[in-house]
Structure 1
Amino acid sequence: MRPIGGRWNPRADFEQTVLDHDPSITPGQFMKAIAAGDHFFATSSSTPENDDYHRVMLRQLGVEPSSQLLADLRREVPPAVFLETYPDVEETLEELSRRGVRMAVVSDAWPNLPDLHAGLGIGRFFEAYAISAVLGCNKPDPRMYHHASAALGLTPAQCLFVDDDPELVAAAIRLGYAGRALCRDSAVSDVPSISSLTELLDFF
């Protein structure tokens, strides 16, 4: 899946939610706050708590992180408001499932990822999730990969790991998994790659 508008974090409604509480914030201030949030994310050993992440940006904005504002920033909205799947995703997952391929998700994400997938209509394809905010570590920590394969009852050698970050695919290969980097817009020479999810069908 991909974020509508191109930005994963913060969610696409972050600016408007904050402006509803303090309409004086400027676009330049938001840019600096989001950069501070990115730094906080990058230096965390695991996916941080949602509220902690928002507090970093709100402090940069000089906005009081009140309980009401934090609640508004994490309120549930339909996934289709800010997320969409790539055109090849659902039909490929459907066909893989039809062929008996068992699937799990390994993601640096918050605990609500299964709900987001369900809202997008793809949650039914996955038997297990290895989520950084739940496990307390990020990829390429081996625990992330091993949690997913163990949940499926498979050895690393029985699994194919797919990610859009070639370095994470290389880490999986070093752990004994087969791997493919999903590079929709560019070719990668360091690790085996595919340009479309549909190419996975050739392996099964």
Structure 2
Amino acid sequence: GPICAVAPAPVTRPEAVLFDFSGTLFQIKAYEDRIRAALPHPVDGSAMDAILTSLEAGLADPAVIGAQHARDVSSAAHRHAFTTWYASAPALAPFAGVLYDQLRSPEHWLPYADTEKTLAALDARGIALGVVSDVGWDLRPTFALHGLDRWFGSWVHSYEHATEKPDPRLFAHACAELGVAQADTLMVGDHPAKDGGAAGAGLRSYVLPGGAAPGAVRGLDAVLRLVDGPY
């Protein structure tokens, strides 16, 4: 007999939006600034160029590459991954721990120029908000420093769950905490596999194009257009 087509369920307005952290809502200050803050002596332009070149070269070091494996599943793995990379630059090796402490410090992170107004606009629309981040430390103090923590009803840090995005359990946990269905939730991030992978867990996903500089406009107005429809 004829095959009966099943009408797809209508797409409704999202009830919740989950956000990635780094590269989505916040960006860390430039390495030049961080290195100057970490080192106890002045660093001139040529010395800084040499340090940045050796950091870049370190990304190809087998030991550094190996240390990145599953780096976000625990605080210890995260610290090991970053300090191994920092130490691959000889001038930074004695200060790898200082640089890592910076990474965890709220004052070294800047929200994008459109982060606050986007979160406020979503909250005004009655949208529940959560953070789902591959990270090795608690992000709440960083958001709180900028007065941005008050809008979030769920904080999912990968290291607290011993796994990384796109593990469906991370997205499901956030949705459960917010009391929303995964099909009614939008995940916003900047990593196609990790954040876009939320689609595999039944969420909608929006992946921002390549990174913007700290404090720049990120293009988060696109999230409001996705939420507003038409539906």
Q: Quick check: TM above 0.5?
A: yes
Q: Paired residue for 1:131?
A: 157
Task: Tell me the distance in 2 between the aligned counterparts of 1:58 and 1:90.
Answer: 31
> What is the rounded CA distance, in whole Å, between the counterparts of 2:111 and 2:222 in structure 1?
13
Question: Pairwise mapping of residues 20-31 of structure 1 onto structure 2 (< 5 A)?
Answer: 20=40, 26-27=50-51, 28-31=53-56
Q: Cα distance, 1:155 vs. partner?
A: 2.3
Number of residue equivalences: 189
User: Once the 2 structures are TM-superposed, how far is the Cα of residue 162 of structure 1 from its aligned partner?
Assistant: 1.8
Give the structure, 1 or 2, with the largest relative contact order (CA under 8 Å, sep 6 or more).
Answer: 2
Q: Deviations over 1:47-104 (max 9, x none)?
A: 55354234313542457977x862574157553xx33323332112112212221111
1:151 is the counterpart of 2:177: yes
For residues 14 and 171 of structure 1, what CA distance do their matches in structure 2 show?
Answer: 32
Instruction: Check 1:72–1:92 CA distance in 2 against 1; reply closer, same or farther (3 A cut).
Output: closer
SS at structure 2 position matched to 1:146: helix
Compared with structure 1, are the counterparts of its residues 42 and 97 closer, same or farther at alpha carbon in structure 2 (3 Å cutoff)? same
Q: Is the 8 A contact 1:169 1:181 kept in 2?
A: yes
Contact 2:86 2:99 in 1 (8 A): no
Tell me by how many angstroms 1:147 deviates: 1.5
C-alpha separation between the residues in 2 aligned to 1:43 and 1:74? 21
Q: Contact between 1:89 and 1:197, CA under 8 Å: does it hold in 2?
A: no
Establish whether residue 175 from structure 1 lines up as the match of residue 201 from structure 2.
yes
Query: For residues 4 and 130 of structure 1, do their structure 2 counterparts lie closer, same or farther at Cα, with a shift above 3 Å needed?
Result: closer
Tell me the equivalent position of 1:15. Answer: 35
- Higher CA-based Rg: 2
Query: 2:142 maps to what in 1?
Result: 116
- The residue aligned with 2:112 is 86
> Gaps (5+ residues) in structure 1?
186-193
Question: Is the deviation greater in 43-52 or in 106-115?
Answer: 43-52
Any idea what the Cα deviations from partners look like across 1:116-150, whole Å, max 9, x if unmatched? 11112211111111111222211111121112111
Paired position in structure 1 for 2:80: 52
Instruction: Report 1:182-197 matches (<5 A).
Output: 182-183=208-209, 196-197=222-223
Any stretches of 5+ residues in structure 2 without a counterpart?
1-24, 212-219
TM-score by length of 1: 0.70
TM-score under structure 2 length normalisation: 0.63
TM-align CA RMSD: 3.7
Residues 64 and 14 of structure 1, relative CA distance in 2, 3 Å threshold: closer
